[in-house]
Every structure is written in structure tokens, then in C-alpha cells.
Amino acid sequence: MLSKFYLIRLPYLRLVNYWWIGMFLGYFVPAGMGMDIYRIVSVGQHGGDYGKSIAAVVGEKIFGVLGSILLLMVAYPLVRQTINADPRITEIIAYVYWVGVVSTVCLVLAVVFVRVRHGNKVLFYAQEKLTLRIKRIISKISQDRANNLNDLYLSRIVKGFFHWQNILTVIAFTVMMRLVMAVGGNILFRAVGIQFPLIVNIFTTTLMFIIFTLPISFGTLGVREGTYIVLFSLFGVESETALTVSFLALAGLLLGTLTGGVILLISNIRQKKQPERLNSQIK
């Protein structure tokens, strides 16, 4: 998004480092907001534009959730016959699903209707709301920067997220990430002797991503375990087994988080050595 939407060219490995270090620093902040803040500040410092950095992260969040919801809608009909739960629970899930589908369709039709009748007013309204949100985030980082930004500049940087090609690109990457998570879930369940069709893990991991996005827990602790037990009980997995897989997934996540700590430690050591080398060369 930084490259395609805003022409901010940063080395890919540097962005990977920002991701890992942000994960380490922001893991115990609800909804991963600590990681987002670190990425915004780091990219803003090296890319030279906090507004575009914030727009990229906020847009990534919004369209990431949107892409996950669309994937969930596609996956549910494919796993419906696999659900092995009380018929009343199955009926409730089906009811919630269809309410969500009908609501989404009605919302899309309403947006199309209003846009046909009133031109680009809906688009302008959405851009204005996103612009206001970005300005609020900038003011929390630096009030001086927020005061120096004009609304025309902010509205210009959010326009990139209102082109169909860009929206489809972000959603496509979201779907790819959910597929990778689903493959990881399959591997964990195979480790405890349970084999699922891949679509089951696509459905469950996507739903878990949406749940974990909510700011209701620190590092998803507590929520993760309960979510694993409830979701996989729908597919006949015993609570003990689901809890075991939850701990395995948590161990892998913590290992990845620790990787960010190692990268941060190495980068700090390198930064300390640079002045020493410079002083030695001067001498």
C-alpha cells in the first residue's frame, strides 16, 4: 500500500523488521494497537509522511476486516454440513449468517442507489469520516503536526482506498493471509491427530481474526482459549483437545513475538556500534 498508493519506497526487509518489532512491543496492547502505533511512527520517520503512514495502517485494518467478513460469508455454506452441534445452535448460527448476508446486500444496494441519485455524496462522506479519524490519530502522536495538516491534503491521501482496483488488491492480500493461517491451523490439529478439511480452518481462523481484532483482551489471552473451545466444539472437537491446540498456537505466536525482540536487540546493538566506529575512524 505504501508503494502502490503513496509511492513511498522503503526496503521490504525494513518493513518486515517494523512488523516483527511492532509485534514484540505491542503484543499486550488490546487489538494489536501497539504494533500499529510503532509501524506508523517508524514508517513516518523514515518515509517522511505520518499522514500517509497512518492512512496505510488504518486502511489496512478496515479493508482487512472487510475482506475477512466476505471470506467468512463464502466459507460458511461450505462448512455448514460439517458442523456437528446441537440443532438449536446450528439454527442460531444459520440465522445470524443470513441476517449478515441480507444486511450486507441491503447496504451495498443502498450505497449504489444513493450514489446513483446523489452522485458522489456517499463517497465524499466516507472519505470525510476516514479523514477525520486519521487527523485524530495524528493529533495523538503530535498536535503540532495535526495543526499543520489541511483537510485537502488528508482527503487526497485517503482517496487511494476508494478505487476498486486498490480495494480488490487489499482484499486479495487479506484472503491470502487467512489461507496461510488456515494451513497453520490444519498443521496444529494434525499434530494432535485430528484432520479437518482446509475449509473448516479457513472458516474458524477467519472468524477468530475478527474476534481478536476487538479490543477486549491483552494479547488475546483468555479470549483465545475460550474461542478455540467454542468454535471447534461445533465440529466435534473435545474441549481438552481444542485447548491444547490453542496453547500450541499461542506458543507459536509468542515465539514469533520473541523474534521481534531479538531483531530489536540486534538493531539497538548495531546503532550503538555505529558511533563507536565513527569515533575510531576519526581518531
In a domain, 280, yes or no: no
Q: How far is CA 194 from CA 38, 75, 103, 185, 191, in A?
A: 38, 20, 36, 11, 7
Contact yes or no for 246/56 (Cβ under 8 A): no
What pLDDT is stored for residue 262 in this prediction?
A: 87
Domain membership of residue 179 as a residue range: 2-273
In a domain, 16, yes or no: yes
What pLDDT is stored for residue 30 in this prediction?
A: 60
What pLDDT is stored for residue 283 in this prediction?
A: 53
Entry pTM: 0.74
In a domain, 281, yes or no: no
Number of domains in the chain: 1
Give 10-residue mean pLDDT values along the chain (283 residues): 79 85 75 73 73 79 84 88 79 81 78 62 66 68 59 66 78 88 89 87 87 67 81 87 89 84 82 61 52
In a domain, 90, yes or no: yes
Q: Write the CB contacts of 47 (distance below 8 Å, at least 6 apart in sequence).
A: 2, 8, 10, 53
Q: How far is CA 160 from CA 11, 40, 61, in A?
A: 21, 18, 15
In a domain, 256, yes or no: yes
**d(C-alpha 202, C-alpha 251), whole Å:** 20
In a domain, 278, yes or no: no
In a domain, 282, yes or no: no
What pLDDT is stored for residue 263 in this prediction?
A: 85
Q: Which of 213, 202, 282 is nearest to 66 (CA)?
A: 213
